[in-house]
A and B are shown apart, each in its own frame.
Chain A
Amino acid sequence: LAKTTQPISMDSYEGQEVNITCSHNNIATNDYITWYQQFPSQGPRFIIQGYKTKVTNEVASLFIPADRKSSTLSLPRVSLSDTAVYYCLVGDKNTGNQFYFGTGTSLTVIP
């Protein structure tokens, strides 16, 4: 399985940009990188998915360098409601890797 490593926790003040990095040194050629967000007592929710370079949607941006051994989720101007656990997944439908969430990064936004 392609293993991912993320920081266990991060703190940020409201209004700041937050960058959460995920390491995936043995990512396979076909693997996509997907990020989910989870609030307490709820199921995870899809944020963004990408394969290379940069992907942006209305919620976040995902930066993937050329070697694809890491990726960075960028949350612009966070608010208190962004306090959650963020998971990075590396997976391919053919391998079943997309089901392995790891421990995630617990982000706390401070007023």
Chain B
Amino acid sequence: KAGVTQTPRYLIKTRGQQVTLSCSPISGHRSVSWYQQTPGQGLQFLFEYFSETQRNKGNFPGRFSGRQFSNSRSEMNVSTLELGDSALYLCASSSTSGSPWRPDTQYFGPGTRLTVL
């Protein structure tokens, strides 16, 4: 099975612009989660989508948004970019076929490295 893929791998933007990142989950996986990783803040959860609905959300401002399509592919959008948005953005997918009380394994993609100038 192909792993989680993310595009683009690298991106350079300037302050005030917006950006859209894409994630294709492992075939058959219906849950997609997004994370931001920076040296100072570590790995922080943005949101999770399942069957085209946002199911969980972290503590990020409304400039960060996402969506999921019927084929489970997901996109993340950041509007009005700030210097502090420079980070590695990771996407993870899981099958959600496990028991309700037991988290499924998350499979991560290679990430998109966003640099805001």
Residues in B neighbouring A100, C-beta threshold 8 A: 45
Taking CB atoms and an 8 Å cut-off, the chain B residues in 61-117 that contact chain A are: 88, 90, 92, 96, 98, 100-111
Taking CB atoms and an 8 Å cut-off, the chain B residues in 1-30 that contact chain A are: 4
Asked if B56 is at the interface (CB within 8 A of a chain A CB), the reply is: yes
Contact A96 B43 (CB under 8 A): no
Question: Most chain-A Cβ atoms within 10 A of its Cβ — which of B42, B58, B92, B106?
Answer: B106
Residues in B neighbouring A86, C-beta threshold 8 A: none
Contact A92 B42 (CB under 8 A): no
Q: How large is the interface on B (under 10, 10 to 19, 20 to 34, 35 or more residues)?
A: 20 to 34
Contact B101 A96 (CB under 8 A): no
Instruction: Known contacts A91-B103, A93-B102, A98-B103; decide if A43 and B56 are in contact (CB<8 Å).
Output: no
Question: Most chain-B Cβ atoms within 10 A of its Cβ — which of A92, A93, A100, A102?
Answer: A93
Residue of A nearest to B111 (CB): A43
Contact A46 B45 (CB under 8 A): no
Determine how close the nearest CB of chain B comes to the CB of A19; give it in whole angstroms: 22
Contact B109 A43 (CB under 8 A): yes
Contact B42 A101 (CB under 8 A): yes
Asked if A71 is at the interface (CB within 8 A of a chain B CB), the reply is: no
Contact A49 B105 (CB under 8 A): yes
Interface residues of B (CB under 8 A from A): 4, 33, 35, 42-45, 48, 55-56, 58, 88, 90, 92, 96, 98, 100-111
Q: List 15 A-B contacts (CB under 8 A).
A: A32-B102, A42-B108, A42-B110, A43-B90, A46-B105, A49-B105, A89-B103, A91-B103, A94-B101, A96-B55, A99-B45, A99-B58, A100-B45, A101-B35, A101-B43
Interface residues of A (CB under 8 A from B): 30, 32, 34, 36, 38, 41-46, 49, 51, 87, 89, 91-94, 96, 98-104
